[in-house]
Amino acid sequence: MTNEDIQDLVERGSFPDSCKSPDLVETHISWVVLTDDFAFKIKKPLRLNFLDFSTLALRKLYCEEELRLNRRLADIYQAVVPIVKKNGKFHIGGPGRAVDYAVQMKRLPPDKQMHHLLEKGKVKEKDIVALGEMMARFHQQARIVKKPFDAQAAKDDFADLSSVVPILEKYVDKKYGQWAMDWINGAADTIEKYENRLAERAEEGFVRDGHGDLHSGNIFLLDQPIIFDCIEFNEHLRINDVLSELAFLAMDLERNRRSDLKTILITTYRKAFPCFLKAADEAIFQYFLLYRASVRLKISAIKLGEEKREGEGVNNKLMAEIQALIDLCKIYHQRLKEL
């Protein structure tokens, strides 16, 4: 579907719950149409270096993968439904030739998304304990992937941070290029130092088919936490050492200035799933904190570059996020040096 098709669907389309005024949320790779009862996620017809949604068959395939993978964590995922066009009008579901597909989910209250609750200071200790226990159960049940650790690939992944140096030097701080080089070199040194232990952890079964994008924006805090929107389009991004996935959410809590909640998360998770078996694992976890902060920084920098190209003004929230991530990278890099 095109942008024009999506607008037509929102304005004149037919939905299973007969909603007349749906909302539209757009991400870099998808559209999400929100009706009274449901959320319909539609993949954009894109082909990027990390995903391929360029054909109808591929979009259907990845809708089915999204349903399968996310059902490991959440019962809000209901079906893959066709989008059909009859008499000049788009319909979600029903008979007819599919022009595209959507993942149908139960709609949840947006004010219960964890990142909103963090901003308002409404995340409680019991929420994090429940979340840490859920993550541990999920990882313990997840498929073990016995793949050799590739040190050079890990270095290359981290070094891609240099791709946003021009953006951050231009719009944030001219010193960013030197900072990035320090972090990249520090990460490479850590990978070399602990290469054998990282390989050993893979052999011990700690590399698993996880979530891949486990941050507070992909969590609802209800009576029990609901984790959603795992990465379906790229196994490389989803299959990680469990310490890397734990580090992602731990970093996100620290980014939101809740180091207290970060400590509770790590303590709860470690109690439920002993995965720090050797002293080197503490340093490896610190490396993953730096890696996850650097990836989030890169994504935020790319967004900043897109906004500047489109002539948008200063986005204070995005600039604050970038500064917080830079500060975290500095802190994590220093801790790595001390270890």
Instruction: Give the per-residue pLDDT at 314.
Output: 78
Q: In the prediction, which pLDDT does 119 show?
A: 94
pTM of the model: 0.93
pLDDT at 94: 82
- pLDDT at residue 116 in the model: 97
Contact 27, 6 (CB under 8 A): no
- Average pLDDT per block of 10 residues along the chain, 339 residues long: 96 92 94 96 95 97 98 96 94 92 96 96 97 98 94 96 95 94 97 97 97 97 96 95 98 96 98 97 97 96 91 88 96 93
Determine the pLDDT at residue 285: 98
